[in-house]
Amino acid sequence: MPDGGEQFSVKVHRSIDAIGRDAWDACAGAADPFLSYAFLEALEASGSAIDDTGWLPQHLALQDEHGGVLAVAPLYLKNHSYGEYVFDHGWAAAYERAGGHYYPKLQCAVPFTPATGRRLLLRPDAPPAAADALIAAMIELARRHKVSSLHVTFPTEAEYAQFGAAGFLGRLGQQFHWENDGYRDFDGFLEALNSRKRKQIRRERRDAMASGLDIEMLTGDAIKPHHWDAFFRFYMSTSDRKWGSAYLTREFFDLIGKRIPDRILLVMAKKGDRYVAGALNLIGADTLYGRNWGCLGDYPFLHFEACYYRAIDFAIERGLARVEAGAQGQHKIQRGYLPCHTYSAHWIRDTNFSEAVADFLRRERRALDRDMAELEAELSPFKTVAE
C-alpha cells in the first residue's frame, strides 16, 4: 500500500494474540489501560468479545516493508449494536425498512467501554502517513466485507478530525467529566462550589455512611479473588436489571485482576462482614475511568459516594487530571462533573443512506450543543464570578 512515498502492507487478524503483546503495546503505549494488550486480550480470552457474542475480531496491523508492525487498530465485525454506547439502533431500523441489511457492520472500538482514547495506534517512530494508511485499510476492509457501515467510537478529537478528512460522518456525544483544578484535597474542591451545593454534597457523603457502612479502596495486590466474587454478583445484579444480560464474564475480571492489578481501583462498600456494593475504575496516566457499579440493597447516596466522590478523592491524591465517570447521567453535573463532548466517526457505503444520516447528524449536533450550554448554565455547582 503506497502512501506518500512509504510502502505499507496490512494484515487482518482474527485475534489480538495473533499480533502479539510486544507489537501491540509498542503501538498502544502505556497511558490508556483500555488499549493495552492485557485488557483487550482478556476480553477475547474470557469469551466476552468473541464471534459467539457478536464481536468477531478483525484487528488491523500495518507493517513496514520488513514486516515490522507500525500501527494497529482494534476492529470488530458485529451483527448487533450492543455494548457500544453510541446508539445507532434507529439507523439500523431505518435502513432495514428501506430494504437494506445494516448488519454485519465494522466497529473500531474498545468493547463495552465508553471512554475516549486513541483508535489509530501508531508506534512512536511510525511515519505520519501511517495514520492515513490505517484509515484507508479500514475502508478497504469494509468494502471487501460488503458491510453497510464502519463506525469509530470514542476516538480523540484529533482523530475525529482525521476521520472527517477521510470522508467519515462526524457525530458528537456528551459525557460528564470532573476536572482537577489543582485541588489540595476534597475540601479544596468543595471550596470551588457555591454554598448550597457544598452543603448538599457534604450531606450526601454523611448520609451515605449513616447505614453503618465501611468503604475499602483497593488496588494492586490488595484485590483478592473474594473481592471479584462479590463484585461480579453486583455486576450481574445491575446487568439483569438494566440490560437483561451481562457483557462481561466472571473470567474477565480474574484476568484483568492478574494482568493489570496496579491499573485497577476497586471501591467496595461493606456492612458488617458482608460486601453490599462496589465500583470498578481503571487508572490511566492522567485519568481515572469509572466503569461498572453494582449494589445489593437500598443504600441512599451510596452510588454517589462510591462512584463519584471517592473517585474525586483518589484523583486528587494521585494527582490525576480528571475523572471520566462513564456514559450518561445529568445528575453528575451537580456533583462537579461537567458536560463535555465525545466523538464518533461513521463511514456508510450507501450514498443515499449516508446523506440521510448526515442530515440527521447536523440537526443532532445543533440540539446537543444547545442542551450542553443550558445544562451547564442551569445546573453547574461551581461559584460564579459574583460569588
pLDDT value of residue 1: 47
* CA–CA gap between residue 55 and residue 68 (Å, rounded): 27
- Stretch (H or E) spanning 318: helix 310-318
254 close to 229: Cβ distance less than 8 angstroms: no
**pTM attached to this predicted model:** 0.95
pLDDT value of residue 387: 56
pLDDT value of residue 3: 45
164-212 pLDDT, tens per residue? Answer: 999 999 999 999 999 999 999 999 999 999 999 999 999 999 999 998 9
pLDDT value of residue 384: 82
- Point out which residues pair with 175 in neighbouring strands: 327, 340
Domains of the chain: 2-174+340-376 (3.40.630.30), 181-320 (3.40.630.30)
Residue 315 φ then ψ, to 5°? -65, -40
For residues 281-303, give the mean pLDDT: 96
Neighbours of 359 (CB within 10 A): 10
For residues 302-328, give the mean pLDDT: 96
Least confident among 68-77, 177-186, 237-246, 282-291: 237-246
pLDDT value of residue 292: 94
- Stretch (H or E) spanning 355: helix 351-379
40 by DSSP, 3-state: which? helix
Pick 3 or 374 by higher pLDDT: 374
Closest listed residue to residue 168, CA positions, set 106, 114, 115, 230 = 106
Grid cell of 167 as nine digits: 470522508
Grid cell of 152 as nine digits: 469509530
Residue 266 reports pLDDT greater than 60: yes
Amino acid at 217: M
* CA–CA gap between residue 140 and residue 163 (Å, rounded): 14
**CA atoms 55, 158, 33, 177: torsion sign:** negative
Residue 244 reports pLDDT greater than 70: no
Residue 53 reports pLDDT greater than 90: yes
Residue 10 reports pLDDT greater than 80: yes
Structure confidence at residue 7 as a pLDDT band (50, 70, 90): confident
**CA atoms 260, 262, 265, 271: torsion sign:** positive
Grid cell of 256 as nine digits: 484483568
99-137 pLDDT, tens per residue? Answer: 999 999 999 999 999 999 999 999 999 998 999 999 999
* CA–CA gap between residue 334 and residue 337 (Å, rounded): 7
276 close to 297: Cβ distance less than 8 angstroms: yes
pLDDT value of residue 68: 96
Grid cell of 135 as nine digits: 484509515
For all residues of the chain together, what is the average pLDDT?
95
pLDDT value of residue 328: 78
For residues 4-25, give the mean pLDDT: 92
For residues 329-340, give the mean pLDDT: 93
For residues 344-356, give the mean pLDDT: 98
DSSP state of 111: T
Question: 3-state SS of the chain: helix, strand, coil percent to 5?
Answer: 45, 25, 30
Q: Could you give the angle at the alpha carbon of 347 between the alpha carbons of 118 and 362, nearest 5°?
A: 95
Residue 304 reports pLDDT greater than 50: yes
Per cent of the chain over pLDDT 70 is 96
Pick 243 or 374 by higher pLDDT: 374
